[in-house]
Amino acid sequence: MAPFEAYRDFASERDQWERWSIQGGSDGFGFRALPGMQDDPRLIHDQPHGEQGPRPSLAGMCAGGPRGLLDLAGPVTEAKIAAGRLWDLFHQLRDLMPAVLPLEHFRTLPENHVRYMPVGADPEDYPLVPNSNLTPALEQYRAQPLIQRLRATPFFTAGVVRELPDMLPWFALTREEYVAQQAEDALRRSELLTLDGWWIERDHLPVHGACESLDTCPHRTDRSEPWTRAEKAAYLEHLPDDVIIVRLHCKV
């Protein structure tokens, strides 16, 4: 991590973090241990919080450990299964239940409008506009029978693709497209620091910690494009079983 510490007069692309801590088991953003490995002493758990004390891991979760003890593929596999079941349920019910109206319909209802007005101005000079607070509209949207049925299924959380602001357009995809999109969403979104010192950030060019800057880096032959989430996941999947992977929570 040291080559990417902030305030060290590095090039801007290497100025990445101010402080970090080992964290992921207690908040669910870490790694799932393989079945039967949850109590293995080689697993790594969250550092205690300075004021709140210990942060125990959620059941089956950890902040890291040897690659061979971590279930990296399981969450994606489960997301694919759940997405397929959710897509099937939507298309089974859509012709049997009242048509679902999009969130935008409820957002524009008169009762969900507020008057946009600078402080001290005459209210009559400013029209009503849709409320930027989506809470009332979202409650009405979710109250629709078909949306209620989808949200009540045990596989909804793992199977839905980006519920907000509106999940309906996703079900216009084919089943294969929907499942593939959910698999993509289930992949880790965090940055990656590789064994050979590359800082991999989504939508940015990889940065080599041993080089002064992107412009002067001589190692860019194979690292000239941003990595996708699938490429980062594949990197972790193909690490040897004894390589230790740790999730860090960074203040940037």
**Span 194-234, pLDDT tens digits:** 999 999 998 899 999 999 888 888 887 777 789 998 999 99
Report the candidate in 52, 64, 165 with the shortest Cα–Cα distance to residue 106.
Answer: 165
Task: Report the predicted TM-score, pTM, of the whole model to 2 decimal places.
Answer: 0.78
- Is residue 197 left, alpha or beta, with left meaning phi > 0 and alpha meaning psi from -120 to 50? left
**Span 36-86, pLDDT tens digits:** 999 999 999 999 987 788 999 999 999 999 999 999 999 999 999 999 999
Q: Is the separation of the CB atoms in 180 and 83 below 8 Å?
A: no
Q: Is the separation of the CB atoms in 206 and 192 below 8 Å?
A: no
Please say if the pLDDT value at position 23 is more than 90. Answer: yes
- Report the sign of the C-alpha dihedral through residues 59, 62, 65, 71, in that order: positive
Higher local confidence (pLDDT), 165 or 139: 139
Cis amide prior to 75 (ω within 30 degrees): no
- Residue 185's pLDDT is what? 86
Q: What are the extents of the domains in the chain?
A: 1-72+191-252, 75-186
pLDDT band at 145 (very low <50, low <70, confident <90, very high): very high
DSSP sequence for 35-68: TT-TT-TTSB-PPPBTTTB--PPPTTEESEEEGG
Please say if the pLDDT value at position 131 is more than 80. Answer: no
Q: How far apart are CA 81 and CA 161, in angstroms?
A: 13
- Residue 118's pLDDT is what? 62
- Residue 81's pLDDT is what? 96
- Residue 84's pLDDT is what? 96
Going from the C-alpha of 167 to that of each of 55, 69, 145, 161, 182, the distances in angstroms are 34, 35, 14, 7, 12
Number of CB atoms found within 10 A of residue 63's CB? 26
